[in-house]
Amino acid sequence: MILFAMRLRGLLNDLKKRPGRYLFGWFFLALVFWGILAATRYGVGFIDRYPAVGSIADAVMQRSLEGLFSMLTLGVAFSVLTTAITTLYSSHDLPFLLSLPVPPERVFYLKVAETYINAALLPAIFTIPVLLGLGLERSAPWLYYPLALFSLLALYAIPVALGSFIALFLMRIAPAGRVKEISTALSVVLAAALIFGLRALRPEQLAAMSPEAFEALLQRFAEFRIGWLPTSWTSGAVWGALEGKVTPAIFILAGLSLVLLFLVARLAAFAYRDGWIRGLDSGAPKLDSRAKGPSFWERPFYLLGRGGSIMVKDNRLLLRDPSQWSQLLVLTALAGVYLVSLSSVEVDLQRFKDAVGTMNLMFLGFLMSGIGIRMAYPAVSLEGEGFWLLKTSALKPKQIVMTKFWHSLPLMLILGLGLGTSAAFLIDLSPTLAIASPLAGISSAFVISGLGVGLGAAFPRFDATNPSEIPMSAGGLLYMTLSLIYAALLTTVFAWPAWRTLRNPTEVLWLQSEGVLFLLGILLLTLLGTFLPLIFGSYSLSKYEPGD
């Protein structure tokens, strides 16, 4: 308890020191929470009123809840591997805590709790409004709320404990110095499998179904159940609580999660010495006294001056750090899912194709903002504790921010242009929209890169142990909000050429004076959306002081 109190005191001290930043973060979190709550209430109400669902509404919702639990549990499972290794073996405070006159198991109870919070807090925050919305819409008794929350927390404890077991196992068997690489690769494979698995369900088939076929599908969906999965126990416990009952499932869940967490903490305390040494050890160095010069691929970058040197350094760090290169694999998986989804759009009428193409601009914007949070937003924070080297060099903050922007842009541009052009071909758009689609991709690439790098510089996290931690901040939430607003704005702006195309599909708007004016407007929007955040980021970074 003393160790937990110490952690809590640290958090409160940080809150006192930077109350504005916390308030800002809590405001955005409250906004997201409210959005999910409202959407859930609307969804539950819609299913209750949908005529084809009728008496199986409860079963459909229960299965949907199980589906949500399964997806988020898998999400926790693939993020917990690297989190567990970082928390159980690489924490800076571990040597200090283990030197205290406290049994090691108690230290590892704290560390397992930390792993749990780091891996499961966000999924829990996103699930709580769903359960709250369900309770409110169904006028649940008061007992429902604590029981549903308890079931949820117990459920997420299971993947945390299992992931920690795998992490402990890996620390024992993986080659020294390669533990983090192997666990990261494993996590990414799991993540990619999850994304492709979800896409394999092909939800677009639902649109082509007759009402009878859809009803039959709902019936099968309502009956489909794998009773031995913890997600089924959780939804069973939640459903029982909704009716004011305490089901045995909740005791099974609580028992299992507590036993697993206890066992993993005991095992970690038992096994940490060997694994810790393996985690620290990077293998025997192969001493080589030769004065190796720059590689051939570096030389073109040096023509760009100091910015080029930073890019060479960033490229090396990207390729050598598994927590960085693994982001590229996730990005490839996301782009793959997007293209597969587009290729399965089956509409015949040109007007429908153009309507789908217009809506697709928004999806393209969403996808780009999702990629940007991994590729552009962390760019400045990835300097890490070594930032003092740049700060004390003869570099202006503006140079640092702009270099990071130009380094992030090519990849974003390839994606934006590539996905925009592919969408035009795959959907077979009319000439005006066929040009609008890649244009929107280019604009998104610039704005998302500018927004990501700029806000990432304004809200740096040089102390993050993993790139995926960097966006978990007020700045990350602001980036997501602004980038999604931009995607919506871009779609709204492109609604005008889309409307012209729907009226006259053969018209090529861009050859007319109003089309050129429109392009100038897009150019202005892109420039403002790109450079205003970069200016803000440069200014904020110039004011940054260690300890902020």
Binding residues vs other proteins (CB under 8 A)? 17, 282, 285-294, 302, 306, 309-310, 312-313, 316-317, 320-321, 384-386, 388-396, 543, 545-546
Q: Least distance to other proteins from the beta carbon of 26, Å?
A: 21
Q: Least distance to other proteins from the beta carbon of 64, Å?
A: 44
140/234 Cα distance (integer angstroms) = 17
Q: Are 356 and 347 in contact (CB under 8 A)?
A: yes
Nearer to other proteins, 9 or 396 (CB): 396
Q: Are 346 and 409 in contact (CB under 8 A)?
A: no
Instruction: Give the amino acid at 190.
Output: L
Close Cβ partners of 326 (under 8 Å, ≥ 6 residues apart): 184, 185, 187, 188
Cα three-residue angle 359-378-412, rounded to 5 degrees:
40
Nearer to other proteins, 312 or 334 (CB): 312
Q: Are 241 and 151 in contact (CB under 8 A)?
A: yes
Residues 465, 466, 467, 472, CA torsion sign: negative
Cα–Cα distances (Å) from 64 to 128, 209, 215, 240, 320, in that order, read: 15, 19, 15, 16, 41
Q: What is the DSSP letter of 51?
A: T
Q: Are 135 and 145 in contact (CB under 8 A)?
A: yes
Cα three-residue angle 340-485-452, rounded to 5 degrees:
80
Cα–Cα distances (Å) from 137 to 58, 133, 181, 456, 526, in that order, read: 13, 6, 46, 39, 42
What would the DSSP string read from start to end of 54-66? GGGHHHHHHHHHH
Nearer to other proteins, 346 or 385 (CB): 385
Cα three-residue angle 360-187-194, rounded to 5 degrees:
40
323/319 Cα distance (integer angstroms) = 10
Q: Least distance to other proteins from the beta carbon of 324, Å?
A: 9
Close Cβ partners of 518 (under 8 Å, ≥ 6 residues apart): 496, 497, 509
Look up tokens 């459903």; give the residue. Answer: 239
Nearer to other proteins, 39 or 277 (CB): 277
Q: Least distance to other proteins from the beta carbon of 392, Å?
A: 5
Q: Least distance to other proteins from the beta carbon of 378, Å?
A: 15
Close Cβ partners of 251 (under 8 Å, ≥ 6 residues apart): none
Instruction: Give the amino acid at 298.
Output: E
154/216 Cα distance (integer angstroms) = 34
Q: Least distance to other proteins from the beta carbon of 389, Å?
A: 7
Tokens coding 248: 């045995």
Nearer to other proteins, 49 or 92 (CB): 92
Nearer to other proteins, 101 or 293 (CB): 293
Nearer to other proteins, 336 or 384 (CB): 384
Nearer to other proteins, 109 or 301 (CB): 301
Q: Least distance to other proteins from the beta carbon of 278, Å?
A: 14
Nearer to other proteins, 219 or 309 (CB): 309
Nearer to other proteins, 372 or 397 (CB): 397
Q: Least distance to other proteins from the beta carbon of 501, Å?
A: 49
Nearer to other proteins, 43 or 384 (CB): 384
- Tell me, rounded to whole angstroms, the distance of Cα 489 from its chain centroid: 22
Residues 452, 456, 457, 459, CA torsion sign: positive
Q: Least distance to other proteins from the beta carbon of 76, Å?
A: 28
* Of 319, 320, 315, 321, nearest in space to 298 by CA: 315
Q: Least distance to other proteins from the beta carbon of 182, Å?
A: 17
Nearer to other proteins, 49 or 290 (CB): 290
Q: Least distance to other proteins from the beta carbon of 220, Å?
A: 51
94/223 Cα distance (integer angstroms) = 49
Nearer to other proteins, 18 or 199 (CB): 18
63/229 Cα distance (integer angstroms) = 12
Q: Least distance to other proteins from the beta carbon of 546, Å?
A: 6
Q: Least distance to other proteins from the beta carbon of 310, Å?
A: 8
